[in-house]
């Protein structure tokens, strides 16, 4: 074998191992934290710091028909934690197996899984923020946005700053009005009651996955920066 060919081969092998190493290094620690007839919740933790400066929870898959957030948020969690050694990201991956394609039943089942398993786990954690991922139809709000349905001070304060930083819309709710929303009662309020800020994060369902990834990465970046300030 020629000398040059040998050198190229060695370089190729080194690069291959480096990429493989990065891939393994960036992989999260997975643990099933709950399972019942409706489906399961897997907790995937990213980050290697023993003393992270910011800890963010990201819920994906609660509404099983929403494909954008379900696909991009686990990737964003992994890539962001890889490039930001000071962060710990906990991605709660909800997998609805009972009627996942039914609009109403599927949603209710996902919310029930989050209520039963994610809320309990968040209460044990010390997360600075939980982002609950969604996709929305064109008429349900404009573009990329964040909402803080519980309207607690800590979530409102952070959402105001973060959405301004990255040009997202921010939808506040009139908290004095009663709500019919099951997810506010079963998911958002109980998480806030654990002393954790909550963002309901909405991606337009008509947008492409590349842009959805980029904008979601922006949201996590801005949240991290504000929480780290």
64 vs 84, which CB is nearer to Zn ion?
Answer: 64
136 vs 226, which CB is nearer to Zn ion?
Answer: 136
Q: Is residue 43 within the footprint of Zn ion (CB under 5 A)?
A: no
For residue 199, the SS3 value is strand
In this structure, the dihedral spanned by the alpha carbons of residues 79, 84, 88 and 91, taken in order and rounded to 10 degrees, is: -20
Q: Are 55 and 128 in contact (CB under 8 A)?
A: yes
CB of 112 to Zn ion, least distance (A): 14
CB of 66 to Zn ion, least distance (A): 5
Q: Is residue 63 within the footprint of Zn ion (CB under 5 A)?
A: yes
Backbone torsion region of residue 47, taken as left when φ is above 0, otherwise alpha when ψ lies between -120 and 50, otherwise beta: left
49 vs 105, which CB is nearer to Zn ion?
Answer: 105
Residues 167-196 that bind Zn ion (CB under 5 A): none
Q: What are phi and psi of 28, to 5 degrees?
A: -85, 170
Q: Is residue 70 within the footprint of Zn ion (CB under 5 A)?
A: no
Q: Is residue 115 within the footprint of Zn ion (CB under 5 A)?
A: no
Q: How many residues bind Zn ion (CB under 5 A)?
A: 2
Q: Are 226 and 87 in contact (CB under 8 A)?
A: no
User: Residue 107, Cβ neighbours under 10 Å: how many?
Assistant: 20
Instruction: Give the tokens for residue 212.
Output: 């959805």
Task: Name which position in 78, 88, 115, 134 contacts Zn ion (CB under 5 A).
Answer: 134
Contacts with Zn ion, residue ranges (CB under 5 A): 63, 134
């Amino acid at each position: 074998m020629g000398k040059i060919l040998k050198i190229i081969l060695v370089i190729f092998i080194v690069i291959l191992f480096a990429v493989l190493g990065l891939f393994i290094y960036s992989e999260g620690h997975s643990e099933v934290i709950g399972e019942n007839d409706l489906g399961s919740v897997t907790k995937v933790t990213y980050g290697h710091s023993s003393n992270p400066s910011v800890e963010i929870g990201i819920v994906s898959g609660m509404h099983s028909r929403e494909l954008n957030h379900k696909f991009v948020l686990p990737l964003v969690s992994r890539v962001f934690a890889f490039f930001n050694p000071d962060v710990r990201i906990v991605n709660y991956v909800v997998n609805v197996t009972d009627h996942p394609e039914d609009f109403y039943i599927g949603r209710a089942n996902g919310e029930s899984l989050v209520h039963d398993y994610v809320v309990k786990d968040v209460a044990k954690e010390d997360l600075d923020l939980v982002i609950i991922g969604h996709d929305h139809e064109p008429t349900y709000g404009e573009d990329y946005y964040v909402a803080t349905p519980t309207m607690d001070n800590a979530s409102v304060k952070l959402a105001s700053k973060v959405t301004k930083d990255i040009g997202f819309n921010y939808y506040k709710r009139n908290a004095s009005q009663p709500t019919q929303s099951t997810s506010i009662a079963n998911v958002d309020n109980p998480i806030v009651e654990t002393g954790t800020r909550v963002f309901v994060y909405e991606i337009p369902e008509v947008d492409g996955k590349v842009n959805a990834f980029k904008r979601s990465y922006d949201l996590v970046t801005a949240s991290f920066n504000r929480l780290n300030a």
